[in-house]
Structure 1
């Protein structure tokens, strides 16, 4: 497994990816994974984030043990430059 740090600039199209998983998900306690990278948005422009990548942290805030809703909230609240720690 390889850790990588991906820095995205949140633009008008947002970060451009959706997530799946989380603590207490219907499938049990899961890490947060990238579900879809949309055709437009910061992630598509950057090109490094892939479906199935595990998101470990956002701007240094760990996603370990967070629910899906909490993870979505953390991603929504981050403005401007967003640094993702990713395991792929």
Structure 2
């Protein structure tokens, strides 16, 4: 992408939902974005529906995790009947996928508890997530 420069650690910051839309991307679209000096990652903008139980997945990692500071990743996908096509959740998210952003809020540098509190504070309804798919360089 034009105008993107790596941060101090050599990793480019994740684009915001607004920046992805600026390049014509919307729900369900994917784009290869330069995430480091050494390769590309598949970053997807997906839409989920938050209900009273959350978004249908749990998180692992984060700042201060037992394994040290790590990106926030999907730990487990919850199965069951959920509104908004949650039966498709395993098609959109997989354990190990890195959650970069929820709505307009970046998760970079957050503790898992902080990310969980952010999700709990979201109103019930559609939510957009920016996700780096597992297994991509």
Give the TM-score, by structure 2 length: 0.59
Aligned to 2:130: 85
**Runs of 5+ in structure 2 lacking a partner?**
1-40
Larger proportion of strand: 1
Number of the residue aligned with 2:63: 23
Q: Which runs of 4+ in 1 moved over 4 A?
A: none
Counting matched residue pairs gives: 88
Task: Say if 2:54 and 2:119, in contact at 8 Å, map to a contact too.
Answer: no
2:110 to 66, 76, 83: 66
Counterparts in 2 of 1:9-48, with a 5 A limit?
9-40=49-80, 41=82, 44-46=86-88, 47-48=91-92
Cα drift, residue 70 of structure 1: 0.2
- Secondary structure of the 1:2 match is strand
1:14 Cα deviation from its structure 2 partner = 3.1
User: Would you say the 8 A contact 1:33–1:53 is kept in 2?
Assistant: yes
Which protein shows a greater Rg? 2
Distance (whole Å) between structure 1 residues aligned to residue 65 and residue 54 of structure 2? 24
1:20-57 per-position Cα deviation (integer Å, ceiling 9, x unaligned): 01101111001100000011246842331111100000
Q: Quick one: structure 1 residues 7 and 18, their matched pair in 2 at CA, closer, same or farther if it must change by over 3 Å?
A: same
CA drift of 1:13 comes to: 4.5
Normalising to structure 1: TM-score of the pair?
A: 0.89
> CA RMSD of the aligned region, Å?
1.7
